[in-house]
Amino acid sequence: MISDSNQNIEIEASNLSKHVTSSEGVLAILADFSCAIHAGETVAIVGASGSGKSTLLGLLAGLDVPSAGRVAFRGQNLADLDEDGRAALRGRHMGFVFQSFQLLSSLTALENVLLPLELAGISDADARARHALERVGLSARLRHYPRQLSGGEQQRVAIARAFAPQPAVLFADEPTGNLDAATGARIVDLLFQLNAEAGTTLVLVTHDATLAQRCGRRLQLEGGRLQA
Amino acid sequence: MIVWKLARRQLLSSWRSGEVRVLLFALALAVAAMTSVGFFADRIQNALARQGGELLGGDLSVVSDQPLPESYLEKARALNLRIASTLEFPSMAMRGEQSQLADIKAVSATYPLLGQMRISDESRDAGRVVASVPQAGEVWVEPRLAGMLALKIGDTLTLGERELKVAAILQQDPARGGSMFNIAPRLMMNVADVASTNLIQYGSRVRYRLLLAGEPQALEFFRNAVTPTLQRGTRIEDVQDARPEIRSALDKARQFLGLASMASVILAMVAMSLAALRFARRHLDTCALMRCFGASQQTILRVFLLQALMLGLLGSACGSAIGYVGQEVLARLAGALFLERLPPPGWMPVAGGLLAGMATMLGVMLPHLLRLRDVPALRILRRDPGEQNAASWLAWLPGIVVMLTLIFLSARDAKLGGIVLGGLVALALVSALVAFALGRVLRRVSAAAGGVWRIGIASLLRRPGASIAQVAGFSLGLMAMALLTLVRGDLMHNWQSTLPPDAPNRFVINILPEQIPAIRDFFQNEHLAIPEIFPMIRGRLVEINGQPLDTTRYTDERARRLAEREFNLSIADLMQHDNKITAGRWWRDDERGQPLLSLEEGIAKTLNLHLGDRLTYDIAGERVTLTVQSLRKVEWDTMRANFFAVVPPGVLEKHPSSFITSFHLEAGREETLNRLTQHFPNLTVVDIEAVLSQVRAIMDRMALAIQFVFAFCLLAGFAVLYAALAATREERADEVAILRVFGASRPQVRAAILAEFAGIGLLAGIVAALGAEATAAIVSTQVLHIPYVFNPLVGLATICGGLLLIPLAAWLGLRRIVDTPPRQVLLSV
């Protein structure tokens, strides 16, 4: 179903637009965005608040559907899939790290990491989850609930959860946005280290120039448009 | 497998973090209410029926004017029922030259199956309980007969061709039965002696009775098997037929218990709905995350459906267990007051509770499960998606069907269920409307208001849906409690006024017209209140609207009996104060002497008589035609003298009449009766004190049962209030934390919370008070048929309860958060 293109393109966006209708008229959040992201590439989407970064990330990951244009993952047009089809695609090929960690408060660290593994039906889920937590230095905190962990620890759990299923693409939305500088730096190191080891394609949304500098390519958004 | 694993893990986690406990508690409560209240009500009802059965001498009685076929006995034996048989017939009892008409009752050795007989050696002795019946060759006589024939223990009397020895004075026969006004004194004998008296001949007026007692199922089986084979003149009676006043009290108690059990079910289901709403809201993020990680909608639905099933099973099992234990405890508490042990509960209600619990859980959860299924993955990036999306109304349908089914099952009365449901729907609409209208007003107020009020009002306005649900939840909880308080008050008041301590306990019949002044004087001299004395003229109904009465047109056995027997017509200028006109009008002064008739509404209905019908009575050989001018409702359970048919003065005075009166005689003044009968030897005094005591005892026990069940409903009401508070607690914790971060002092936060909940509470209190008063009025007058007493205190208490208790409870729930440093709160939410 999913074909590997000659240019090894992982994600391709063509003429993407997203607008919402409000009481004040139609508001364009993203306009005419096109780009191609190759396998193994690290891409930073940068821009000020409200420039459409997170919207773009949502569209690229198939979390949202564009108002116009198309997004293809390995040549597969996401618009041709229904909600469940896109969910299955995410489950098989994508991982996520969010600004607000998005850990389930009712699950322990280990259970949070287990969630995507089990949803993907991976047989040695438990061992892989433990290994992932060990890689982020949290093997002693397996049974802790998110509220018992610091912000940095919570984000490390989120990173373990993102890498554990060995996704092809990792989407990170302001991964250091909720952390202090020192903790943020450690998290970024960890992220890039794991990324390099796994050869994962990384799509990272940030307004942090230093963090963006560590990526192979930067896409600058302004008012919903890609700046050259 | 994955689904099972995920569901199990999430449920365990939710359990550990406490978020499903409210849902589980509410379900357990709903099931406990259904099994405990419903089943306790059933047991009480069975026990009350048994208690009432004592008035019949058995659970069931087959009565006939001819000997009963042997096949009935065989059937009863085959069903392992206990059996007794009696024969009743009037006959003259003679001692020397003196003779007196007596009501002969011949009983088999096993009589009575229920209740106890008391005998004594002296007329005035209260007597001792006996477990036997008169030996062959002996009789027991009532004090009145002993007095009339001057009989002592050891004397002999003649009955037909037989001489029998008086062995005891019969003080109490539980199954006294018979019509109160035509009672000859009773003589009890052994059934083995009847043949030797040679009194039973062809055409004798004998009433053959087969009494049965045993398991309800066996009795029901017997009834079903025998009913189709009943000959004309044969009928089956149970306690409800035995005494209308008991039946009326039993019906009311049953209806109240139904109301209470229904209220518990409604309250618990509302609590569950509120808890399910909270459960769903708390899992929106989980679902978004699962969608993000590739879970299909099917997977999400299955994971949460499985959780609902597990919760349902656990909650139903807990609820059934609590219900079983609870009703057993109640039964034991109440059991001490019952003569017989309550019938055993059996395991059916537990199975029923499980089934109902699962149905309730799935019905309540379905809309929320569908909502969770439809949560978009995008919610992970933006908060709003999935927050507002609601399931279609079709998703609510199964829950509504389950609720309706359970309501009608627990009410056991379609009319009652209908009225309360109507009240609920009206209440829901009114709460929604009031909340909506108030929202508009508050929007304006909040622009002008400042400080904490603005924050409080803003909280209300931000979640219009949740606010409406919360107001409706609080209103429902308060309304159910107020409704039960009101109806319970009406019922208790009605029972107390029905049989006050000074209710008439003696009837005097056969008073001659010329004796009336002397009897009034007698009462005055004895320092007794002078009772009302009513004329009584006996007449047989022969024509309706000029057509000869054909009793065969009545298919109903009771209607035929009523039509065939003699009516007691009375004369009255003014209507008795406890009667009530239900159709037509009472006569005016200028209508005296006109051939008008006021009929009791029950007999009019049974005999299919209407206003304007012309009824011809045969009174001592003369025909009198009367036109029905009004229908009256009569409180038969007041024990006062009352009449089916009343005519205005100046119509029947020339016909032979006797007079009747009733009065209350305090215990210990029985010698007054002797003086009365010495002065007026022709009078017959009927003692109904024993019957009154029995009725009072039954009412007392029912009152107790009602208090128990009422307390249970109050608990369910508090559960709803708690669930309604818990429904938005997390969000409020967030708000409190943010307010505290921005420097709000604790008093300011407290004021904001109190302001918001005082608003909600006041609104809910007003809606609940109005709803409860209106519904109580309808339930009391239309279902229980008791007068509705407007009780502003209960309404006021409801409003005050809403205004004070709800903010207080909200404050108690959030106090911990307010007192905790904001940083810690922010971490924990």
Residues B403-421 pLDDT 10s: 888 877 777 678 888 887 7
Confidence of residue A2 (pLDDT cuts 50, 70, 90): very low
Q: Is the distance from CB of B284 to CB of B386 less than 8 angstroms?
A: yes
Cα separation of A112 and A133, whole Å?
Answer: 10
- Top mean-pLDDT range of B92-101, B297-306, B487-496: B297-306
Q: How far apart are CA B152 and CA B123, in angstroms?
A: 9
pLDDT grade, residue A4 (50/70/90)?
A: very low
Measured CA distances, B162 to B85, B184, B193, B195 (Å) = 21, 20, 8, 10
Q: How far is A185 from chain B (nearest CA, A)?
A: 22
Residue B449 in this model has a pLDDT that exceeds 50: yes
CA distance B390 to B744: 35
Chain A neighbors of B298, CB-CB under 8 A? 84
Q: Which residues contact B495 (CB under 8 A, 6 or more apart)?
A: B249, B699, B703
Residues of B in contact with A83 (CB under 8 A): 291, 297, 376-377
Say whether residue B823 is in contact with chain A using an 8 A CB cutoff.
no
A152–B contact, CB cutoff 8 A: no
Q: Which chain B residues touch A63 with a CB distance below 8 Å?
A: 292, 376-378, 380-381
C-alpha triplet B379, B382, B385: angle, nearest 5°: 50
Strand bridging mode A25-38 / A9-22: antiparallel
- A224 part of a folded domain: no
pLDDT of residue B178: 44
CB contact A154 to B (< 8 Å): no
Chain B interface, best mutation among A106, A147, A148, A178, by max B CB count within 10 A: A106
Q: Give exposure, B100-122, as e/b (b: 16+ Cβ within 10 Å).
A: bebbbbbbbeebbbbbebbbbee
The set of long-range contacts for A119-126, using a CB threshold of 8 Å and a minimum separation of 24, is A119/A91, A119/B2, A119/B6, A119/B290, A119/B293, A119/B294, A119/B295, A119/B299, A120/A91, A120/A92, A120/A165, A120/B293, A120/B294, A121/B2, A122/A165
Q: What is the pLDDT of residue B156?
A: 92
Nearest residue of B to residue A114, measured between CA atoms: B6
CA–CA dist A168, B318 (Å, integer): 48
What is the pLDDT at residue B174? Answer: 73
- Please check whether residue B689 touches A, CB under 8 A: no
Residue B668 pLDDT > 90: no
Question: Which amino acid is present at B71?
Answer: S
- What ipTM is given for this predicted complex? 0.86
Q: What are the sequence ranges of the domains in chain B?
A: 2-50+247-498+696-828, 57-242, 506-687
- CA nearest to B379 within chain A: A63
Q: Residue A187: inside a domain, yes or no? A: yes
| Helices then strands, each counted (H, E), chain A | 7, 10
What are the Cα distances from residue B377, in Å, to A90, A119, A156, B400?
Answer: 10, 15, 22, 30
* Cα B568 from Cα A225, distance rounded (Å): 101
User: What's the gap in Å between the CA of A206 and the closest CA on chain B?
Assistant: 14
Contact indicator for B313, B320 with CB cutoff of 8 Å = no
Tell me if B2 and A118 make a contact (CB, 8 A cut-off). yes
Q: Give the integer Cα–Cα distance in Å for B349 and B37.
A: 11
Residue B534: partners with Cβ closer than 8 Å, 6 or more residues away: B570, B571, B572, B641, B643, B659, B660, B661
CATH number, domain containing residue A146: 3.40.50.300
Taking only the tens place, the pLDDT of each residue in A169-200 is: 999 998 888 888 888 888 888 889 888 888 89
Neighbours of B557 (CB within 10 A): 14
pLDDT over threshold 70, residue B630:
yes
Residue A176 at interface with chain B, using a CB cutoff of 8 Å: no
> Nearest-CA distance from A100 to chain B in Å?
9
The candidate with the shortest Cα–Cα distance to B620, out of B647, B642, B645, B652, is B652
Residue A116's closest chain B neighbor by CA?
B293
Backbone φ and ψ for B450, nearest 5 degrees, come out as -130, 175
- Per-residue pLDDT, averaged over B770-789, amounts to 83
- Residue A227 placed within a domain: no
- Compute the average pLDDT of residues B320-332: 75
Per the model's pLDDT, the better-predicted residue between A54 and B144 turns out to be: A54
Give ∠ CA B586-B590-B593 in degrees, rounded to 5: 85
Place of tokens 């198939």: A62
Residue A160: inside a domain: yes
Contacts of B826 (CB under 8 A, 6+ apart): B737, B741
B749 token code pair:
């936060």
Is A223 inside any structural domain? no
Which residues on chain B are in Cβ contact (under 8 Å) with A89?
Answer: 294
Report CB contact under 8 Å: A111, B13: yes
Domain that holds residue A187: 9-218
Choose among B17, B294, B380: nearest Cβ to A92: B294
Contacts of B293 in chain A (CB under 8 A): 90-91, 96, 115-116, 119-120
Q: How far away is chain B from the Cα of A118, in angstroms, using its nearest Cα? A: 6
**CA closest to B291 among chain A residues:** A87
Query: Which residue do the tokens 């029950």 mark?
Result: B602
Mind telling me how many Å the CA of A149 is from chain B's nearest CA? 9
Say whether B380 and A106 touch across the interface (CB within 8 A). no
Instruction: Please choose, from the candidates B569, B559, B543, the residue with its C-alpha nearest in 3D space to the C-alpha of residue B607.
Output: B559
Whether A152 maps to a domain, the answer reads: yes
Closest residue in chain B to residue A174, using alpha carbons only? B381
Alpha helices in B293-378 (DSSP H): 297-335, 348-373
Higher pLDDT, B273 or A42: A42
Q: Would you call B79 an interface residue with chain A, using a CB distance cutoff of 8 Å?
A: no
Q: Copy the structure tokens of residue B318.
A: 């807990």
Backbone angle region of B150, left / alpha / beta, with phi > 0 → left and psi within -120 to 50 → alpha: left
B293 and A173 within 8 Å at the Cβ level: the answer is: no
Rounded to the nearest 5 percent, the helix, strand and coil shares of chain A are 40, 30, 35
CA-nearest residue to A122 within chain B is: B2
Which residue in chain A is spatially nearest to B296 when comparing CA positions? A84
Least confident of A110-114, B333-337, B651-655, B740-744: B333-337
| Chain mean pLDDT for chain B | 80
Which residue from A minimizes the CA distance to B11? A106
**Does the pLDDT value for residue A161 go beyond 70?**
yes
A168/B76 Cα distance (integer angstroms): 82
Average pLDDT of the segment spanning B763-772 = 87
Whether B679 contacts B517, CB under 8 Å: no
B5 at interface of A, judged by CB pairs closer than 8 A: yes
Closest CA of chain A from B377, distance in Å: 5
Cβ within 8 Å, pair A147-B293 = no
Are the Cβ atoms of A147 and B291 closer than 8 angstroms? no
Domain count, chain A: 1
Alpha-carbon gap, residue B644 to B233, rounded angstroms: 23
User: What is the pLDDT, as a whole number, of residue B454?
Assistant: 64
Cβ pair B660, B507 in contact under 8 A: yes
User: Is residue B40 exposed (0-12), middle (13-18) or buried (19+ Cβ within 10 Å)?
Assistant: buried
Nearest to B299 among A107, A119, A147 (CB): A119
What would the mean pLDDT of B159-163 be, rounded to a whole number?
A: 89
Could you tell me where the beta strands, DSSP code E, fall in chain A?
9-22, 25-38, 42-46, 68-73, 76-77, 94-97, 169-173, 201-206, 217-222, 225-227
Please list every residue in chain A whose beta carbon sits closer than 8 Å to the beta carbon of residue B11: none
pLDDT, residue B471, reads 75
Q: Answer whether 0.80 is exceeded by the pTM.
A: no
- Give the closest-approach CA distance of B30 to chain A in angstroms: 26
> Which H, E and C letters describe A131-182, residue by residue?
HHHHHCCCHHHCCCCHHHCCHHHHHHHHHHHHHCCCCCEEEEECCCCCCCHH
Q: Which of B16, B297, B827 minimises the CB distance to A147?
A: B827
C-alpha B406: how far from chain center: 18
The answer to whether residue A3 sits within a structural domain is no
- A83 vs B381: CB contact, 8 Å cut-off? no
pLDDT at A55 over 70: yes
For CA atoms B563, B568, B572, B575, the dihedral sign is negative
Sort out which chain A residues have CB atoms less than 8 A from B295's CB and list them: 87, 91, 119
Q: What is the pLDDT of residue B38?
A: 66
Contact B17 A105 (CB under 8 A): yes
Establish if B21 touches chain A: CB-CB under 8 angstroms.
no
Is A147 part of the contact surface with chain B (CB cutoff 8 Å)? yes
Beta strand B645-647 with B596-600: parallel, antiparallel or unpaired? Answer: antiparallel
Q: Which helix (H) or strand (E) holds B568?
A: strand B567-571
Interface mutation vs chain A, best among B381, B730, B823, most A CBs within 10 Å = B381
How close does chain B come to A67, measured CA to CA in Å? 15
pLDDT grade for B616, boundaries at 50, 70 and 90: very high
